[in-house]
Amino acid sequence: MRLVKQALAVLGSVVVVATIVTLLAPKTVHAIVATAVEVMNTSANPVPTYDSGTRFQADVCNASGPVSVAAGYCGSTTSKTFVVPSFTSSGATVKRLFVDNVAGFCANFNNPNLFIKVVRLSGQFVPDSVPNGDSAAGHYIPIVGPSLSYTNDPGFGPPLGGVPETDYSFGQTTHFAFNPGDTVTLRFNYFYSTGNFDGMCTATVEGTLATQ
Q: How far is it, in rounded angstroms, from Cα 202 to Cα 119? A: 9
**Which three-class secondary structure state does DSSP give residue 4?**
helix
On average, the pLDDT of the chain sits at 80
Q: Could you tell me if 138 and 116 are in contact, meaning their C-beta atoms sit under 8 angstroms apart? A: no
The domain segmentation of the chain, as residue ranges, is 1-46, 49-211
pLDDT at 190: 86
pLDDT at 195: 79
Bridge partners (DSSP) of residue 70 are none
Task: Render pLDDT for 48-90 as a digit per residue (tens, 0 to 9).
Answer: 554 455 899 999 999 999 999 999 989 877 899 999 999 998 8
Nearest to 182 by CA among 129, 135, 132: 135
Within a 13 Å sphere around the CA of 135, how many CA atoms are in the beta-carbon half? 1
Please give the residue that has the higher pLDDT: either 205 or 124. Answer: 205
Task: Render pLDDT for 99-151 as a digit per residue (tens, 0 to 9).
Answer: 999 999 999 999 988 889 999 999 887 766 666 777 777 899 999 888 999 99
**Buried b / exposed e along 51-82 (16+ C-beta atoms within 10 A):** beebebebbbbbbebebbeebebbeeeeebeb
Phi, psi of 74 (to 5 degrees): -80, -20
Give me the percent of the chain exceeding a pLDDT of 70: 72
Least confident range from 43-57, 75-89, 164-178, 188-202: namely 43-57
Least confident range from 36-40, 139-143, 180-184: namely 36-40
Nearest to 125 by CA among 136, 112, 139, 117: 136
**Model confidence pTM above 0.75:** no
- The answer to whether the Cα torsion of 157, 168, 109, 202 is positive or negative is positive
